[in-house]
Structure 1
Amino acid sequence: MDLDALVDRAASLAGGGASLAGGGAARTVLGLAGPPGAGKSTLAQALRDALGDAAAYVPLDGFHLSNAQLDRLGLRSRKGSEPSFDVWGYEALLRRLVTEPFRDTYVPDFDRALDEPVAARHLVPAGATLLVTEGNYLACDLPGWREARSLMAEVWYVDATADLRDARLMRRHTGFGRDVAAARAWIDGNDRPNAELVELSREHGDLVVTSLSRN
């Protein structure tokens, strides 16, 4: 599918949820899953931009555990792995967004320059009828992720070749301070095993989407 077709499919989901109390419009959640570097955030932002005020962006990355918590749990070297996210906090936010569509809600994000999650970077306005959320593990059949998935009308699996993902990850990591050797070590020791877990969830997607091209 090209972007126009994906926008049309997303638009058909918008507001398709059950009627909700409180006088606000019904809300639908569209999830974008896929391995690191596949292009999930690029697609999410393209959909949001195309749909305008009807859509809002809710990234899973805002639920990275802080570095202090990762240090406490011995997960600093596995940042971005499945257990390094607050999945139940993420599920609770999605549930709140679906059941309380009548108020503006701020949602967190991850700041790569700070290497920490940051609160309230994004706004979900009361008028948004489609929530586009993206993250590696949204299609995984694991505790917490199953419950979050149950709040989504559809989950699209965003796919890209291993070589393309590797090149994107190398640009990402070197762009935020790692030298080439450190970036390669992080990709091979962390991003790659994370991708292998995510790839097991491909069959759970409602649609497989080829990554959008980007520079």
Structure 2
Amino acid sequence: MRTEELAAMARGVAARGSGGRAVLGLAGPPGAGKSTLAVALVARLRERYGPRAAAYVPLDGFHLSNAQLDRLGLAARKGSPPTFDVHGYAALLRRLADEPEHDVYVPDFDRTLDEPVAARHVVRPGTRLVVTEGNYLACELPGWSGARECLDELWYVDADPAERRRRLVERQLAGGRTERAARDWVRTNDMPNAGIVEASRDAPWVTLSFVWSGHDQ
């Protein structure tokens, strides 16, 4: 699907949202382009309808810190379901839906630091649509249904598996890993995580499933 068509559909989600603010979720496997699409949708809507038309809220800000991953013995599984503060993420989504009159600050993940950072984004009062994305939003896993309950619609975003793998290797190379280490990480961590997500593609709460190449941005 093309970005322009998806932006029009996202505008429709905003129009149908109850209480003055809607939340659109994007699920899908690692490397599918969810964050890129979320940013593109928000940019299109703001360009067309003004700065309060939409805001971006990434799940990645709820990665556990490296110190917590070490404490839990999960450093080698970073990005898997238990390495996120899903309850904190769900609480933020509920606040966004319930408090449209306040500035709400949103964390993000810094790939240079390889750590979450606080308050990189802000959702301003009067924002009509929040676009959030996260691998496991469609999964029937502990905690994730609580986040899903805050969504007005949930879309599943995918890309060609070979393209996803290429993007994931490039991401690890950009983070400083060697070619071999990058490919090993993708094989032993990202692809198993993708398998968990792919099982949720046909979940009954997914309202739209599509492949997005990003070439029409």
Smaller-chain TM-score bracket: over 0.9
Match of 1:207 in 2: 208
For 1:39, which of 21, 27, 33 is the aligned residue? Answer: 33
Q: In structure 2, what residue type is equivalent to 1:7?
A: A
Alpha-carbon distance, 1:18 to partner: 2.4
Please tell me whether the aligned partners of residues 16 and 27 of structure 1 are also in contact (alpha carbons under 8 angstroms): no
**C-alpha separation between the residues in 1 aligned to 2:128 and 2:213?**
24
Q: What amino acid maps onto 2:213 in structure 1?
A: L
Equivalent residues in 2 for 1:1-215, closer than 5 Å: 1-19=1-19, 26-52=20-46, 53=51, 54-204=53-203, 205-214=206-215
Paired letter, 1:43: L
Instruction: Please say if residues 43 and 212 of structure 1, whose CA atoms lie closer than 8 Å, have aligned partners that are also in contact.
Output: no
CA contact (8 A) 1:42 1:212 kept: no
TM-score (normalised: structure 2)? 0.93
Alignment partner of 2:43: what SS? helix
State the AA in 1 paired with 2:155. W
TM-score if structure 1 supplies the norm length? 0.94
Do the aligned partners of 1:157 and 1:208 also contact (CA within 8 Å) in 2?
Answer: yes
Report SS of the residue matched to 2:41: helix
Return the alpha-carbon distance in structure 2 between the equivalents of residues 212 and 56 of structure 1. Answer: 22
Alignment gaps of 5+ in structure 2: none
Aligned mates of 1:187, 1:85 — CA distance in 2: 18
Separation (CA, whole Å) in 2 of partners of 1:118 and 1:171: 22
Per-residue CA deviation, residues 153-177 of structure 1 (Å, 9 max, x unaligned), is 1111001111000111111110110
Displacement of 1:87: 0.3
Structure 1: stretches of 5+ with no match in the other structure: 20-25
Amino acid at match of 2:208: L
Instruction: Quote the Cα distance in structure 1 between the aligned partners of 2:150 and 2:74.
Output: 28
Query: Any idea what the Cα deviations from partners look like across 1:61-107, whole Å, max 9, x if unmatched?
Result: 00000001100100000000000000000000000010000011110
Counterpart contact for 2:81–2:136, Cα < 8 Å: yes
How large is the Cα RMSD of the aligned pairs? 1.2
Q: How many correspondences in the alignment?
A: 209
Determine the C-alpha separation between the residues in 2 that align with 1:211 and 1:112: 23
- AA aligned to 1:173 is Q
SS at 1:142's partner residue? Answer: coil
2:127 and 2:210 mapped to 1: Cα distance? 24
- Opposite residue 14 of structure 1, the aligned amino acid is A
Conserved? CA contact 2:7–2:44, under 8 Å: yes
Runs ≥4 residues deviating over 6 A: none
Contact 2:110 2:116 in 1 (8 A): yes
Alpha-carbon distance between aligned partners in 1 of 2:7 and 2:124, rounded to the nearest angstrom: 20
Deviations 1:112-168 (A, max 9, x none): 000000000011111211000001001111221111111111111001111000111
